């Protein structure tokens, strides 16, 4: 009798765990695939004589991403809006306000070799 009770309890626990896993998968699918409720960070070209830009050394191709940008700025945008970017370049749609893009403030990151360059600092270097 006691053995039957343990089996029923274990069976109930296993069914509850399976239900939780199924709910988790369905929820994740909805938010990440269907609704696309997350943000992308995109890099676009930047003119360091006009605005503050991130800067990285691209002299070694292994240290540079495929976009090859050494002077760039970053925008955060909703993944659902990314389809508006032509050829994965969001410069035009972000700067014209066609989609909501939030500029990412430039912060130096020595681990990745990124520095910030402002118009004033680039004028003093030249």
- Residues 114, 90, single domain; the answer is yes
Residue 110: phi, psi to the nearest 5?
-65, -25
72 and 16 assigned to the same domain: no
82 and 110 belong to one structural domain: yes
Q: 54 near 71, Cβ under 8 Å?
A: yes
Asked whether residue 77 falls in the same domain as residue 114, the answer is yes
Structure confidence by residue, pLDDT tens digits, 5-50: 767 778 899 999 999 999 999 999 998 888 888 899 999 999 888 9
Neighbouring C-alpha atoms within 13 Å toward the C-beta of 33: 6
φ, ψ of residue 92 in degrees (nearest 5): -65, -50
Residue 53, pLDDT above cutoff 80:
yes
Residue tagged 């709910």 (tokens) = 23
DSSP 109: B
Same domain? 45 vs 26:
no
| Whether residue 52 is found in the same domain as residue 103 | yes
Q: pTM value? A: 0.69
Token pair, residue 53, equals 């830009």
* Same domain (yes/no): 70, 121: yes
**Confidence band of 57 (pLDDT split at 50, 70, 90):** confident
For 89, the domain range is 39-125
User: Do 84 and 67 belong to one domain?
Assistant: yes
**Model confidence at 119: pLDDT above 70:** yes
Residues 106 and 50 both lie in one domain: yes
Dist. CA 103–CA 41, nearest whole Å:
9
Residue pair 63/108 in contact by the 8 Å Cβ criterion: no
Please count the structural domains in the chain. Answer: 2
């Amino acid at each position: 009798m006691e053995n039957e009770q343990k089996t029923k309890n274990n069976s109930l626990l296993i069914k509850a765990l399976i239900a939780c896993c199924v709910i988790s998968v369905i929820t994740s699918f909805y938010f990440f695939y269907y609704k696309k409720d997350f943000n992308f960070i995109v890099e676009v070209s930047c003119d360091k004589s006009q605005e503050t830009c991130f800067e990285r050394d691209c002299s070694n191709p292994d240290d540079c991403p495929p976009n090859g940008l050494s002077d760039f700025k970053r925008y955060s945008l909703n993944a659902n809006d990314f389809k508006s970017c032509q050829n994965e370049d969001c410069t035009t749609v972000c700067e014209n306000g066609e989609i909501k893009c939030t500029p990412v403030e430039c912060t130096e990151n020595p681990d990745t070799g990124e520095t910030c360059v402002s118009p004033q600092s680039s004028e003093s270097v030249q």
